């Protein structure tokens, strides 16, 4: 009641604050000196001043009271610390107050240390914050769950998972159970690190400990699974949310729409968008952008622009990501002029273009063969104060490599390094592919050697380019050496690796090796391409292994893959000689339909 009386008095709009403050303080002190009033009155007045944002007046009151031997309560001082720390410009003042107040009789408690640890973290002083946690007990303050959660959250923000796990273990040994905030920070860190499955395990531990997960935790995991492309796991979490009566919000729906769009499931994304509307959730610019991006990636540009117009009509302002998605879609659709117009429109609207916007159009120009225009756009990008990134350079290098201009591609790599940009594995793979396509195998091998010397780990794509070129040259010894080197480094072969090796060995009539590799890739869940099947079948025919060839031909047909006309002809002859007239005619019909009709259609296109 006392708090309300003072608050209502100071909320009076007709009050002259500067004059009234001095007078009010004097009257309040008078009651204390002459009438022996309760000193808690000063705490109440101090708290009202802090809540009203009158921090300078609050400090003046604190200093004046010291002259009368009155020290305010630690709870009031904590409120003052909290209000100071809520303003990022006053974080330094918060630390200063924390060090000064004990000198005049304020005894800080655990809550005080928690406020300061958070302030230190926001100032970028994580070590000092952690040291404060360690020193708390020496000052007679026992760290609580909030103390540990504050430091855990800080280490989560900087991505130090090892420190986080040690702190969780430490708090558990002290009998403290992680709370929802602790778990939320850990799950967010794991998802950002791509360890979404581990994040899901943490959620299970959390539920087992009786801590109720909120919307934010579920949304973090849903977003993580969507970014990994595991949409099924994301929807399982939605079902789990619904069973716990935790309703997905606009952020969760946006993550799901984005995941479906990225996976090419645009119709499902659209249905989800409609479901969101039916539940009374109003989509924001991010939800619209996710769906627009999906339609652009699916080549449905008209629908994407229709959604853009719809969001403008309901008062939403498209952001740079929206326009980047539209520009990227136009480029992939071959509408480069319209994409450039869109770029100029973005500038007119005062939108700060980002690197992704420029990269989309650079990529579109390169794919259309307009490399000179792409280079010019990169120069414009630099003039606009936007620095090209590794993707910009890699895109241009790829274009030069595909046209066999390896000198220009190499010059771009040098320029990239001079600018302090770190090439990605994609950059090196682009160069490797360029060297191999240009028949510059020695340069490709030198690049691989340089990568290994610099500690840059090649992947399967790096090796595939070299192996493919050696196979083309019928040098299976060289191919095998590269494959062994790849295996020796622990680089796992992918589907392309197996298909390249199988075709190479089949062409060289090394059918034992080819058959072994075929079995191995099937066991690993990879599939043969039509060209690999054709190569294997021809190889077995040449080795007079008709049983294996027939088995592969039937397998190929079941997979719905088209064999070469030559192979249909061979099996038609075999079946005719065996007296299987019905099968012979069936193969002839299939050959006409698959080989001749499809070829004619493609020719007309």
What pLDDT does residue 605 have?
41
Alpha-carbon radius of gyration of the chain: 34
**pLDDT tens digits, one per residue of 527-580:** 889 999 999 999 998 888 888 888 888 888 888 888 888 888 888 888 888 888
Helix 40-51, helix 74-85: angle, nearest 10: 10
pLDDT at 363 over 70: yes
Question: pLDDT-derived band of residue 13, with 50, 70 and 90 as boundaries?
Answer: low
Query: Nearest 5°: phi and psi at 204?
Result: -65, -45
How far apart, in whole angstroms, are the C-alpha atoms of residue 149 and residue 117?
11
CA atoms within 13 A on the CB side of 523: 7
- What DSSP letter does each residue of 472-532 carry, written as one string? HTT-HHHHHHHHHHHHHTTPPP-HHHHHHHHHHHHHTT-HHHHHHHHHHHHHTT----HHH
Is residue 229 very low, low, confident or very high in pLDDT (cuts 50, 70, 90)? confident
Residue 19's pLDDT is what?
56
| Cα gap 461→459, rounded to integer Å | 5
In the block, which residue shows the tokens 């280079």?
A: 375
Q: Are 269 and 293 in contact (CB under 8 A)?
A: no
Rounded-to-integer distance, Cα 297 and Cα 432, Å: 28
Dihedral sign, Cα of residue 444, residue 448, residue 449, residue 454: positive
Query: Over the chain, what is the mean pLDDT?
Result: 87
Give the pLDDT confidence of 134-179 residue by residue, as tens digits: 899 888 899 999 999 999 999 998 888 889 989 989 988 889 988 8
Helices (H), 52-194: 55-66, 74-85, 91-100, 110-122, 126-135, 145-157, 161-173, 180-192
pLDDT at 95: 93
Has this prediction a pTM greater than 0.75?
no
Q: Region of 192 please: left (phi>0), alpha (psi -120 to 50) or beta.
A: alpha
DSSP 433-466: HHHHHTT-HHHHHHHHHHHHHTT----HHHHHHH
Measuring CA to CA, which residue among 158, 233, 231 is closest to residue 193? 158
Q: Does the pLDDT value for residue 15 go beyond 50?
A: yes
pLDDT of residue 14: 64
Residue 415 sits at φ, ψ, to 5 deg, of: -60, -40
Tokens describing residue 123: 């100032």
What pLDDT is stored for residue 306 in this prediction?
93
Mean pLDDT on 64-74: 87
Model confidence pLDDT, tens digit, residues 404-435: 999 999 899 999 989 898 888 999 999 999 99
Tokens standing for residue 150: 């504050």
Of residues 121, 151, 125, 124, the one with CA closest to residue 136: 151
Alpha helices in 174-319 (DSSP H): 180-192, 196-208, 215-228, 231-243, 250-262, 266-278, 285-297, 301-313
Residue 596: predicted pLDDT: 57
Q: How many CB atoms lie within 10 A of CB 5?
A: 11
């Amino acid at each position: 009641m006392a708090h309300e009386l003072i608050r209502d008095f100071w909320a009076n709009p007709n009050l002259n604050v500067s004059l009234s403050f001095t007078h009010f303080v004097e009257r309040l002190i008078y009651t204390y000196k002459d009438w022996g009033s309760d000193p808690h009155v000063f705490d109440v007045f101090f708290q009202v001043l802090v809540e009203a944002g009158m921090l300078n007046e609050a400090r003046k009151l604190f200093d004046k009271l010291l002259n009368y031997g009155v020290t305010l309560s630690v709870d009031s001082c904590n409120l003052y610390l909290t209000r100071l720390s809520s303003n990022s410009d006053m974080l330094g003042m918060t630390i200063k107050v924390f060090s000064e107040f004990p000198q005049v009789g304020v005894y800080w408690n655990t809550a005080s240390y928690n406020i300061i640890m958070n302030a230190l973290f926001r100032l970028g002083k994580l070590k000092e914050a952690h040291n404060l946690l360690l020193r708390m007990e020496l000052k007679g303050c026992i760290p609580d769950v909030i103390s540990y959660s504050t430091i855990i959250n800080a280490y989560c923000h900087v991505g130090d998972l090892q420190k986080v796990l040690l702190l969780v273990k430490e708090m558990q040994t002290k009998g403290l159970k992680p709370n929802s905030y602790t778990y939320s920070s850990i799950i967010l860190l794991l998802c950002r690190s791509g360890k979404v499955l581990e994040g899901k395990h943490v959620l299970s531990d959390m539920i087992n400990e009786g801590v109720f997960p909120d919307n934010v935790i579920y949304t973090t995991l849903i977003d993580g699974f969507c970014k990994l492309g595991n949409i099924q796991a994301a929807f399982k979490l939605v079902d789990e949310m619904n069973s716990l009566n935790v309703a997905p919000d606009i952020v969760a729906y946006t993550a799901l729409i984005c995941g479906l769009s990225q996976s090419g499931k645009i119709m499902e994304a659209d249905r989800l968008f409609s479901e969101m509307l039916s539940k009374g959730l109003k989509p924001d610019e991010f939800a619209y952008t996710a769906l627009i991006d999906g339609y652009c990636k699916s080549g449905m540009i008209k629908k994407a622009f229709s959604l853009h117009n719809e969001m403008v009509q309901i008062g939403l302002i498209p952001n740079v990501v929206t326009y980047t998605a539209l520009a990227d879609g136009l480029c992939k659709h071959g509408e480069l002029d319209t994409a450039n117009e869109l770029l100029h429109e973005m500038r007119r609207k005062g939108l700060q273009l980002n690197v992704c916007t420029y990269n989309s159009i650079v990529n579109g120009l390169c794919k259309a063969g307009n490399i000179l225009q792409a280079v010019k756009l990169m120069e414009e990008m630099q003039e606009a104060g936007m620095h090209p990134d590794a993707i910009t350079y890699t895109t241009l290098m790829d274009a030069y490599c595909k046209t066999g201009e390896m000198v220009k591609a190499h010059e771009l790599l040098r320029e990239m390094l001079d600018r302090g940009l770190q090439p990605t594995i994609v950059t090196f793979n682009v160069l490797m592919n360029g060297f191999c396509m240009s028949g510059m195998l020695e340069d490709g091998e030198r690049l691989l050697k340089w990568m290994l010397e610099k500690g840059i780990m090649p992947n399967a794509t790096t090796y595939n380019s070299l192996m493919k070129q050696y196979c083309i040259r019928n040098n299976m010894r060289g191919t095998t050496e590269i494959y062994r080197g790849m295996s020796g480094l622990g680089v796992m072969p992918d589907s392309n690796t197996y298909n390249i090796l199988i075709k190479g060995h089949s062409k060289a009539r090394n059918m034992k090796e080819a058959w072994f590799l075929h079995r191995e890739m099937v066991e690993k869940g990879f599939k043969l391409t039509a060209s690999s099947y054709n190569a294997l079948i021809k190889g077995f025919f040449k080795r007079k292994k008709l049983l294996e060839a027939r088995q592969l031909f039937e397998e190929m047909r079941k997979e719905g893959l088209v064999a070469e006309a030559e192979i249909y002809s061979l099996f038609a002859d075999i079946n005719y000689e065996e007296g299987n007239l019905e099968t012979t005619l069936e193969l002839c019909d299939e050959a006409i339909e698959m080989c001749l009709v499809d070829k004619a259609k493609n020719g007309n296109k």
